Structure 1
Amino acid sequence: MEALILSRWQFAITTVYHFLFVPVTLGLSIFVALLETCYVRTKRPQWKAASRKLVKFFGTLFIINFSMGVVTGIVQEFHFGMNWSEYSRFMGDIFGAPLALEALTAFFLESTFLGIWIFGWDKLSEKAHCICIWIVAFASNLSAFWILVANSFMQHPVGYTLNNGRAEMTDFFSLVTNHYILGEYSHTLFSAIATAGFLVLAVSAWKVLHDEVSRAAFTQTLKAGAIYMLVGLFATMGSGHMHAQYLAQANPMKLSSVEALWETADPAPFAIVADIDEESHRNNMEITVPGAFSFMLYNTPTGAVKGINQLQQEYAATYGPGEYRPDVKGLFWSFRLMIGIGGLMILLGLITLYLTWKKRPLACPLLLKVLPWLLPLPYIANSVGWYIAEAGRQPWIVVGLQKTAEAVSPNLTGTDVWITMIGFTVLYLLLAIVAFWIAIRFVRKTRIAMEGRDA
Structure 2
Amino acid sequence: MDALDVARWQFGVTTVYHFLFVPLTIGLSVLVAILQTMWHRTGNERYLKLTKFYGKLFLINFAMGVVTGIVQEFQFGMNWSDYSRFVGDVFGAPLAIEALVAFFLESTFIGLWIFGWDRLPKRAHLASIWAAAIGTNLSAYFILAANSFMQNPVGYRINPDSGRAELTDFPAVLTNKVALITFPHTLAGSFLVAGSLIVAVGLWHVIRNRDSADTGAYRFATKFGSWVVLVASAAVLFTGDIQGKIMTDVQPMKMAAAEGLYTTESPASFSVLTIGSLDGSREVFALKIPYLLSYLGTGDPHGTVHGINDLQAQYATQYGAGSYTPIIPVTYWSFRFMIAFGMAAGAIALLVLWSQRKGRTPSSRWLLRAGLAMPVLPLLANSFGWIFTEMGRQPWIVFGEMLTRNGVSRSVSLAEVLTSFTAFTLIYATLAVIEVKLLLRYAKAGVPDVSEQPPTDDTERPLAFAY
Using structure 1 for the length normalisation, give the TM-score: 0.96
2:149 pairs with 1:142: no
Q: Which position in structure 2 is the counterpart of 1:130?
A: 126
- Mean Cα displacement is larger for which, 285-294 or 25-34? 285-294
1:126-159 CA-partner distances (Å, limit 9, x unpaired): 2211111111111001000000111011100001
- Mean Cα displacement is larger for which, 29-38 or 212-221? 212-221
The answer on whether the counterparts of 2:295 and 2:301 sit within 8 Å (CA) in structure 1 is: no
The answer on whether the counterparts of 1:160 and 1:170 sit within 8 Å (CA) in structure 2 is: yes
Q: Which position in structure 1 is the counterpart of 2:217?
A: 217
1:314-349 CA-partner distances (Å, limit 9, x unpaired): 101000001000011111111111111122112111
Q: Which position in structure 2 is the counterpart of 1:176?
A: 174
Could you tell me which amino acid in structure 1 is paired with residue 64 of structure 2?
M
Q: 1:200 aligns with which of 198, 201, 204?
A: 198
Q: Which position in structure 1 is the counterpart of 2:455?
A: none
C-alpha displacement of 1:303 = 2.5
Q: Which position in structure 2 is the counterpart of 1:404?
A: 404
- Mean Cα displacement is larger for which, 263-272 or 326-335? 326-335
Aligned partners of 1:94, 1:372: CA distance in 2, in Å? 42
Q: Which position in structure 2 is the counterpart of 1:74?
A: 70
- Mean Cα displacement is larger for which, 183-192 or 301-310? 301-310
Aligned partners of 1:326, 1:23: CA distance in 2, in Å? 26
Aligned partners of 2:396, 2:151: CA distance in 1, in Å? 9
- Mean Cα displacement is larger for which, 70-79 or 332-341? 332-341
Could you tell me which amino acid in structure 1 is paired with residue 221 of structure 2?
T
1:272-331 CA-partner distances (Å, limit 9, x unpaired): 011122315222111101111112234369931100110001101000001000011111
Aligned partners of 1:109, 1:346: CA distance in 2, in Å? 32
Q: Which position in structure 1 is the counterpart of 2:305?
A: 305
Q: Which position in structure 2 is the counterpart of 1:351?
A: 351
Aligned partners of 1:139, 1:447: CA distance in 2, in Å? 27
Aligned partners of 1:263, 1:397: CA distance in 2, in Å? 25
- Mean Cα displacement is larger for which, 322-331 or 287-296? 287-296
Q: Which position in structure 2 is the counterpart of 1:188?
A: 186
1:203-230 CA-partner distances (Å, limit 9, x unpaired): 1111111223132210000000000111
The answer on whether the counterparts of 2:194 and 2:375 sit within 8 Å (CA) in structure 1 is: no
Aligned partners of 1:184, 1:444: CA distance in 2, in Å? 35
Aligned partners of 1:114, 1:310: CA distance in 2, in Å? 52
Aligned partners of 1:170, 1:300: CA distance in 2, in Å? 35
The answer on whether the counterparts of 1:248 and 1:300 sit within 8 Å (CA) in structure 2 is: no
Aligned partners of 1:172, 1:258: CA distance in 2, in Å? 31
C-alpha displacement of 1:370 = 2.9
> Equivalent residues in 2 for 1:280-299 (5 A)?
281-299=281-299
- Mean Cα displacement is larger for which, 439-448 or 166-175? 439-448
Structure 1 pair 15–280 and aligned structure 2 pair: CA distance change class (3 A) = closer
C-alpha displacement of 1:366 = 2.5
The answer on whether the counterparts of 1:271 and 1:288 sit within 8 Å (CA) in structure 2 is: yes
C-alpha displacement of 1:50 = 2.4
Aligned partners of 1:112, 1:438: CA distance in 2, in Å? 23
C-alpha displacement of 1:88 = 0.8
Q: Which position in structure 2 is the counterpart of 1:99?
A: 95
Q: 2:80 aligns with which of 52, 77, 84?
A: 84
Q: 2:154 aligns with which of 133, 151, 158?
A: 158
The answer on whether the counterparts of 2:275 and 2:284 sit within 8 Å (CA) in structure 1 is: yes
Q: 1:119 aligns with which of 115, 120, 123?
A: 115
The answer on whether the counterparts of 2:348 and 2:374 sit within 8 Å (CA) in structure 1 is: no
Q: Which position in structure 2 is the counterpart of 1:109?
A: 105
C-alpha displacement of 1:357 = 3.9
Matched residue SS, 1:361? coil
Aligned partners of 2:105, 2:86: CA distance in 1, in Å? 30
> Equivalent residues in 2 for 1:51-66 (5 A)?
51-66=47-62
Aligned partners of 1:138, 1:447: CA distance in 2, in Å? 25
Unaligned runs of 5+ in 1: none
Aligned partners of 2:234, 2:374: CA distance in 1, in Å? 19
Count of residue pairs brought into register by the alignment: 449
RMSD over aligned CA atoms reads: 1.7
The answer on whether the counterparts of 2:82 and 2:406 sit within 8 Å (CA) in structure 1 is: yes
C-alpha displacement of 1:233 = 0.9
Unaligned runs of 5+ in 2: 453-467
Aligned partners of 1:361, 1:75: CA distance in 2, in Å? 45
Could you tell me which amino acid in structure 1 is paired with residue 93 of structure 2?
A
> Equivalent residues in 2 for 1:328-339 (5 A)?
328-339=328-339
Q: Which position in structure 2 is the counterpart of 1:321?
A: 321
Structure 1 pair 280–398 and aligned structure 2 pair: CA distance change class (3 A) = closer
Could you tell me which amino acid in structure 2 is paired with residue 419 of structure 1?
T
Matched residue SS, 1:161? strand
Q: Which position in structure 1 is the counterpart of 2:465?
A: none
Aligned partners of 2:132, 2:330: CA distance in 1, in Å? 36
Matched residue SS, 1:358? helix
The answer on whether the counterparts of 1:29 and 1:133 sit within 8 Å (CA) in structure 2 is: yes
